Amino acid sequence: MVKVGIVGGTGYTGVELLRLLATHDEAEVIVITSRMECGRRVDDLFPNLRGHYDLVFQVPDVAVLAACDVVFFATPHNVSMNLVPQLLAAGARVVDLSADYRIRDPDLWSRWYGEAHASPELLVEAVYGLPELNRKQIAPARLVACPGCYPTSVQLGFMPLLVQGLVDNKHLIASSASGVSGAGRKASIDNLLSETADSFKAYGVTGHRHLPEIEQGLSDIAAQQTQVTFVPHLLPIVRGIHSTLFAQLQDEGQDLQALYEHCYAQEPFVDVLPAGNFPQTRAVKGANRCQISVVVPQDRRTAVVMVSIDNLVKGASGQAVQNMNIMFGLNEEAGLRHIGLLP
């Protein structure tokens, strides 16, 4: 039984980790922290968990956390980079859902996050936790940086094209849309229902923090410098990311359907839909699954790839559990067999 600690359990990725781990037969959450809600039962804050947990939020304490086999950071950026060095030193392994260890270049990280990195020496060691790309490196890792939600969808969508070198990798386009839970559980005017419901808009068009992560990842996959125009949009729904990707094909005539099916044939959580079907976010709601379609409209050399995930599951907490399963030699699907809640 893997002993699990969660730092920052009051946000949406925190409650989602608790939901997924509650029915995981080989892992058990033994500690969960929150400075704000210290002393409160988790099932008082999250009544869906009643009957599943007796845990109480406690103040983060390195000694207590270090007794865990693995510690998940479900925190905003700028938390894990201060605590992880001590936890690793104490022998714990870490799966970080925040952005702190996703970008290898500390200067680039600083430019987008507006401060110096607190433990840049770990950036080299941290493994980028996209199992479909880095499964072998994840298995022995001490520190896994879980990908962001948008980056997961964009990388899984472009991967087959880039691995095969089929497209102009200087002019990729990603038009993505996310549910509001991606903005987290914190007081704000912008994410009120009254500000976001019954509406749709783009945001962060001039530069979203997921852009450097996406370009780093795509460049790794393509093994050459890759650029993407990334436009995120805000959907008036709670959960779900849908990315519509555009790429200029170098040549005609490839069977992209076959390429995608072959590329992901062995992946338990990536599902290439039959030709003629397109992903919808509700089909993966609550599930650790990525559904993908690819078409070339009017046979005109512009490939269109559509990708949907649940931003809180395959885009965050589910992927984190998947990483844990790989790190501890468990069945990769353990605790992750939930079916999308449709309707």
Binding to a second copy (CB under 8 A): which residues in 241-260? 242, 244, 246, 248
DSSP 265: T
The owner of tokens 């845990």 is 55
CB of 182 to a second copy, least distance (A): 9
Please identify, using beta-carbon distances, which residue of 1 and 342 lies nearer to a second copy: 342
Q: How close are the terminal C-alpha atoms of the chain, in Å?
A: 34
Q: Which of residues 304-323 bind a second copy (CB under 8 A)?
A: 304, 306, 308, 312
Single residue of 59, 192, 223, 258 touching a second copy by CB under 8 A: 192
Single residue of 80, 281, 317, 323 touching a second copy by CB under 8 A: 281
Please identify, using beta-carbon distances, which residue of 194 and 266 lies nearer to a second copy: 194
Structure tokens at 277: 């079907």
Using the rule CB under 8 A, give the single segment among 58-66, 105-113, 249-257, 303-311 that binds a second copy. 303-311
The answer to whether 302 contacts a second copy (rule: CB under 8 A) is: yes
Residue 240, by phi and psi: left (phi above 0), alpha (psi -120 to 50) or beta?
A: left
Q: How far apart are CA 266 and CA 98, in angstroms?
A: 28
CB of 117 to a second copy, least distance (A): 22
Structure tokens at 9: 């359990």
Please identify, using beta-carbon distances, which residue of 62 and 271 lies nearer to a second copy: 271
The answer to whether 112 contacts a second copy (rule: CB under 8 A) is: no
The answer to whether 34 contacts a second copy (rule: CB under 8 A) is: no
Single residue of 19, 93, 117, 210 touching a second copy by CB under 8 A: 19
Q: How far apart are CA 100 and CA 80, in angstroms?
A: 7
DSSP string, 45-62: H-GGGTTT---B-B---H
Please identify, using beta-carbon distances, which residue of 2 and 174 lies nearer to a second copy: 174
Q: Which of residues 218-237 bind a second copy (CB under 8 A)?
A: 227, 229-231, 233, 235-237
Sheet of 127-128, strand order: 27-33, 2-7, 70-73, 93-96, 143-145, 127-128
How many angstroms separate the Cα of 212 from the Cα of each of 90, 108, 110, 331? 31, 8, 11, 32
Single residue of 39, 47, 121, 265 touching a second copy by CB under 8 A: 47
Residue 301 exposed, middle or buried by CB count within 10 Å (0-12, 13-18, 19+): middle
Single residue of 283, 292, 326, 336 touching a second copy by CB under 8 A: 283
> Which listed residue (68, 149, 263, 290) is catalytic?
149
Single residue of 54, 63, 124, 189 touching a second copy by CB under 8 A: 189
Single residue of 25, 44, 61, 115 touching a second copy by CB under 8 A: 44
The answer to whether 287 contacts a second copy (rule: CB under 8 A) is: yes
Q: Rounding to the nearest 10 degrees, give the CA dihedral for residues 251, 305, 292, 101.
A: 100
The answer to whether 39 contacts a second copy (rule: CB under 8 A) is: no
Using the rule CB under 8 A, give the single segment among 88-96, 141-149, 171-179, 256-264 that binds a second copy. 171-179
CB of 24 to a second copy, least distance (A): 12
Please identify, using beta-carbon distances, which residue of 141 and 270 lies nearer to a second copy: 270
Which one, of 5, 2, 11, 6, lies nearest residue 312 by Cα? 11
Of the CA atoms within 13 Å of residue 230, those in its CB half-sphere come to 23
Which one, of 66, 124, 125, 93, lies nearest residue 327 by Cα? 93
Catalytic annotation present for 38: no
Catalytic residue set: 149
